[in-house]
Amino acid sequence: MLGRHTLNKTLKLINRRYASQSMLSSTTDEKTGIATVALNKPPVNSLNLEFLNEFKTQIHQLQNDKARGMILTSSLQNVFCAGLDITEFYKPDLSRLAEFWTTVQETWLALYLTPFPTAAVINGHSPAGGCLLALSCDYRIMVGPKYTIGLNETKLGIVAPKWFQDSIVAVIGQRNAELSLIAGKMYSTEEALKIGLIDESVPDASRALEQGIKFLNNFQKISPWAFKMTKDISRQPTVQWLLENKQKDLDFVLQFMQSPNVQKGLGLYLQSLKK
Amino acid sequence: MLGRHTLNKTLKLINRRYASQSMLSSTTDEKTGIATVALNKPPVNSLNLEFLNEFKTQIHQLQNDKARGMILTSSLQNVFCAGLDITEFYKPDLSRLAEFWTTVQETWLALYLTPFPTAAVINGHSPAGGCLLALSCDYRIMVGPKYTIGLNETKLGIVAPKWFQDSIVAVIGQRNAELSLIAGKMYSTEEALKIGLIDESVPDASRALEQGIKFLNNFQKISPWAFKMTKDISRQPTVQWLLENKQKDLDFVLQFMQSPNVQKGLGLYLQSLKK
Amino acid sequence: MLGRHTLNKTLKLINRRYASQSMLSSTTDEKTGIATVALNKPPVNSLNLEFLNEFKTQIHQLQNDKARGMILTSSLQNVFCAGLDITEFYKPDLSRLAEFWTTVQETWLALYLTPFPTAAVINGHSPAGGCLLALSCDYRIMVGPKYTIGLNETKLGIVAPKWFQDSIVAVIGQRNAELSLIAGKMYSTEEALKIGLIDESVPDASRALEQGIKFLNNFQKISPWAFKMTKDISRQPTVQWLLENKQKDLDFVLQFMQSPNVQKGLGLYLQSLKK
């Protein structure tokens, strides 16, 4: 039988190893209270269950620490975030899939309604769920001109759920959102800037970071409490559907992902990625 | 007593005559599955009960035939579609008026939610209900610069119903929609392009058709099923009101059109058209 | 004991003095039916209970007089309207505060849904509630380039209520509204024009007035009845929340304004104004 002492030592070891293998790289500027959170899960920051859980925990931690702002960016070359990990959907274990999707929902709600301002520094490609992360921040600065961004789900033979759609409608309006969604369009930085999918396009990553900090510094003199209430009222129409339909949304995904057509499409897509 | 053989011959004759008198001219490209449907009811493609029924049937037929796209255009010179036939409203038989309005509702729902992509090639003026047809497609290309488009109902002393208004809000946003609706404004192609009421302005009809086909070809590689689900989610907020208020909407029109003021206004308008 | 005769004389005297001290200056063009209403409460047209009541009464009067349009402007130099009178919120008498807020709600509903078209001629700064007045008109012409406009509530440590937010979303869309609200941003005329917060920027006040009249004259040939029904349908989504939540909105304000943090912030703000 394992003694308590040995158990504790083992747990600490696990925690340390876990910490050293963290998929996030976070630092906070003590003076301004602004945190920089970099997604760091090679090769493409695909969002699986464990990564989402770590990210969600990090947001809650910053909230508890009364952070005054957050930069969301990537540690990787060329990719901001490739989106939800497709392997979570392919030939899924249904109980893990349910946990995964619930975590997707909760992470989005946590990010979308942070009590501190957030800026996405999009320093690489940002399709599907990666685009959703960027859309959920309060401001978007993208490194141009070569990266692309968009909710391209239809191109993969899948469907952006209602609340993904509402998120992009809130940023670029109904008309541009619909055009982008039905065609699964990926936008160049120039196109994204034109339709308002991003707020700024800058030529390099360090400049993007500077602009993100500059945006967040606007809020240093604003009462965090007035900020949070104002943001909640503003974003309430966008989150309302999910808050009222979490189970319905989950049931839809569980059913959808068991469809032979969807599985076939995902299989072909995963094969194409391997090449 | 008419023999079965004679009856069949008569029916065929009626069908043939009906076909030859068809108010629509439709062709489908067998290779791409893209249909071109041209409104062909001189002099101005005004939408009366019979015309709407034929158009609605055509949409359902394309749906059954698993069409992969539809161009909606006009066979006439200078007019895309003049809108709802005002004579259906003037001194109406109430039972026909009810059938007419129900058909307007159903035709709009069929066009607005087609399972295949649609492009309006607006090769002539497009006021009121003609503008609504264009707004209901997924894309709008207009032949410039001399034609005009808009929901100009207030100029006729009538009112664009809630779902007409929601259709234009979904395309040009609340602010521009309100300005256009209260003033009953008709837009030049240049103005329409600027506010997003159309997506492209091109100098001639054949170029407009090419651009329409080009838009529809974008969807050849997209799963029709993912397209349909994505479009339904995107357009659901716009159709929701009508789906929940069909009878209320009909009752409003029946009552509205019996108002002496409205009848007087329509009479003056019809007289002005005769001159 | 004061006799009835004496009392009546005193009341008449008060009424006369009140009338001569009217905080509004109104004239109506008999030919066009267009009224010009100028806010005239030095030094900054701050909206207290009495001023709002006078303004609300004036709108109802124009409605009874079947006015065909209204210009809303300011008689003061450099200020269109400074917004709600902060002294109504600071160390408030709760019964007066409740009456004040109910009057704010009713004045907004009256202005937002006028049966005649309205144009704001913004001839001075227009923060917070002043911006709301402008947003509630059908058209906005601003005298550039030195004045500023915006819903800057968060800068004062307070929160723009749901229906203030809905008013600006209806004009500039969700994305720009959110950015403006969370940062409490004041816009230059040039910036305001770019995001659609105003419809025109002109170099001087007399030109602004001309453009306002020109906008209102567009409606001379439109049936007032068709105008009113069309505007009501268009603006119904924006007023719906308040119509369904008047008491909830009032309760929120009453509770909010009793918070020590808010009172402290307002106190500091009022002190800063005195300097």
Cα–Cα distance, B142 to B196 (Å, whole number): 12
Cβ of C154 within 8 Å of Cβ of A227? The answer is: yes
Q: Is the pLDDT of residue B5 over 90?
A: no
Nearest CB neighbour to A174, from listed B117, B170, B229: B170
Q: Which of A69, A129, A130, A150 is flagged as catalytic?
A: A129
Structure token digits, residue B12: 């065929």
B172 touches A: beta carbon within 8 Å = yes
Mutate to test the interface with B, among A89, A151, A154, A185 (most CBs of B within 10 A): A154
Nearest CB neighbour to C171, from listed B157, B175, B182: B175
pLDDT value of residue C252: 95
Q: What is the pLDDT of residues A33-75, one digit of tens each?
A: 999 999 999 999 999 999 999 999 999 999 999 999 999 999 9
What's the gap in Å between the CA of C69 and the closest CA on chain A? Answer: 31
**Percentage with pLDDT > 70 across chain A:** 92
For chain B, the average pLDDT equals 93
Average pLDDT over residues A231-253: 97
pLDDT value of residue B10: 54
Closest residue in chain B to residue C216, using alpha carbons only: B183
What's the gap in Å between the CA of B253 and the closest CA on chain C? Answer: 13
Alpha helix ranges (H) inside chain A? 4-20, 49-64, 94-112, 128-136, 162-183, 189-195, 205-217, 224-244, 246-256, 260-274
pLDDT value of residue B155: 93
Of C88, C106, C108, nearest to C97 (Cα)? C88
Mutate to test the interface with C, among B154, B163, B165 (most CBs of C within 10 A): B154
Q: What is the pLDDT of residues C183-240, one digit of tens each?
A: 999 999 999 999 999 999 999 999 999 999 999 999 999 999 999 999 999 999 999 9
Q: Assign A275 a pLDDT band (cuts: 50, 70, 90).
A: confident
C182 touches A: beta carbon within 8 Å = yes
Average pLDDT over residues C10-37: 76
- Active-site residue flag, A129: yes
- Active-site residue flag, B84: yes
pLDDT value of residue A112: 98
Nearest CB neighbour to B154, from listed C138, C172, C222: C222
- Active-site residue flag, A153: yes
pLDDT value of residue C14: 47
Cβ of B223 within 8 Å of Cβ of A154? The answer is: yes
Q: What is the pLDDT of residues A100-126, one digit of tens each?
A: 999 999 999 999 999 999 999 999 999
- For residue B178, the chain C residues in CB contact (below 8 A) are 138, 170, 231, 234-235
pLDDT value of residue B2: 47
ipTM of the complex: 0.91
Q: Which of C45, C88, C135, C152 is flagged as catalytic?
A: C152
Through-space distance between the first and last CA atoms of chain B, rounded to whole angstroms:
50
Average pLDDT over residues B61-72: 98
Q: Which of B124, B150, B151, B152 is flagged as catalytic?
A: B152
Tell me the CA distances in angstroms from B18 to A234, B15, B35, B64, one per residue in order.
56, 5, 21, 21
Q: Is the pLDDT of residue B12 over 60?
A: no
Q: Is the pLDDT of residue B19 over 50?
A: no
The more confidently predicted of residues B269 and A51 is: A51
Mutate to test the interface with B, among C68, C215, C220, C223 (most CBs of B within 10 A): C223
Cβ of C159 within 8 Å of Cβ of A219? The answer is: no
Q: Assign A9 a pLDDT band (cuts: 50, 70, 90).
A: low
Mutate to test the interface with C, among B171, B175, B181, B255 (most CBs of C within 10 A): B175
pLDDT value of residue C200: 98
Cβ of B227 within 8 Å of Cβ of A154? The answer is: yes
Q: Which of C52, C76, C84, C216 is flagged as catalytic?
A: C84
Q: Is the pLDDT of residue C181 over 50?
A: yes
DSSP-assigned letters across all residues of B121-180:
EE-SBEEHHHHHHHHHSSEEEEETTT-EEE--GGGGT----HHHHHHHHHHHHHHHHHHH
The Cβ-side half-sphere exposure at A223, using a 13 Å CA radius, reads: 17
C183 touches A: beta carbon within 8 Å = yes
Q: What is the pLDDT of residues A142-169, one digit of tens each?
A: 999 999 999 999 998 899 999 999 999 9
Q: Is the pLDDT of residue A230 over 60?
A: yes
- For residue B167, the chain C residues in CB contact (below 8 A) are none
Q: Assign A10 a pLDDT band (cuts: 50, 70, 90).
A: low
Strands B148-150 and B187-188, by their bridges, are antiparallel
B158 touches C: beta carbon within 8 Å = yes
Q: Assign A14 a pLDDT band (cuts: 50, 70, 90).
A: very low
Q: What is the pLDDT of residues B105-129, one digit of tens each?
A: 999 999 999 999 999 999 999 999 9
E strand residue ranges, chain C: 24-29, 34-39, 46-47, 69-74, 83-84, 118-122, 126-127, 139-143, 148-150, 187-188, 200-202
C125 touches B: beta carbon within 8 Å = no
Q: What is the pLDDT of residues B35-48, one digit of tens each?
A: 999 999 999 999 99
Q: What is the pLDDT of residues C158-177, one digit of tens each?
A: 999 999 999 999 999 999 99
**Percentage with pLDDT > 90 across chain C:** 87
Q: Are A107 and A48 in contact (CB under 8 A)?
A: no
What residue type is B31 in one-letter code? K
Cα–Cα distance, A130 to A121 (Å, whole number): 12
pLDDT value of residue B4: 54
Average pLDDT over residues B159-187: 98
Strands B24-29 and A200-202, by their bridges, are unpaired
pTM of the model: 0.92
Average pLDDT over residues A249-265: 93
Q: What is the pLDDT of residues B78-92, one digit of tens each?
A: 999 999 999 999 999
Cα–Cα distance, C140 to C218 (Å, whole number): 15
**Percentage with pLDDT > 70 across chain B:** 92
Cβ of B178 within 8 Å of Cβ of C231? The answer is: yes
Cβ of A231 within 8 Å of Cβ of C182? The answer is: yes
The more confidently predicted of residues C61 and C10 is: C61
Cβ of C154 within 8 Å of Cβ of A233? The answer is: no
pLDDT value of residue B265: 84
The Cβ-side half-sphere exposure at C250, using a 13 Å CA radius, reads: 18
Average pLDDT over residues A1-29: 63
C166 backbone dihedrals φ, ψ, rounded to 5°: -60, -35
- For residue C160, the chain A residues in CB contact (below 8 A) are 230, 233
pLDDT value of residue B25: 94
- Active-site residue flag, B152: yes
CATH of domain A23-274: 3.90.226.10
pLDDT value of residue B228: 97
Of C138, C116, C113, nearest to C198 (Cα)? C138
Q: Is the pLDDT of residue B27 over 60?
A: yes
pLDDT value of residue B17: 45
Nearest CB neighbour to A157, from listed B171, B172, B223: B223
Q: Assign A273 a pLDDT band (cuts: 50, 70, 90).
A: confident
Q: Which long-range contacts (CB under 8 A, 24 or more apart) does C51-55 make?
A: C51/C23, C51/C85, C52/C100, C52/C103, C52/C104, C52/C107, C53/C103, C54/C22, C54/C23, C54/C24, C55/C23, C55/C24, C55/C107, C55/C111
Q: What is the pLDDT of residues B207-255, one digit of tens each?
A: 999 999 999 999 999 999 999 999 999 999 999 999 999 999 999 999 9
Q: Are C134 and C140 in contact (CB under 8 A)?
A: yes
A184 touches B: beta carbon within 8 Å = yes
pLDDT value of residue B8: 54
Cα–Cα distance, C125 to C115 (Å, whole number): 27
Cα–Cα distance, C63 to A275 (Å, whole number): 71
Q: Which of residues 215-234 of B touch A (CB under 8 A)?
A: 218-219, 221-223, 225-227, 229-231, 233-234
- For residue A178, the chain B residues in CB contact (below 8 A) are 138, 170, 231, 234-235
For chain C, the average pLDDT equals 93
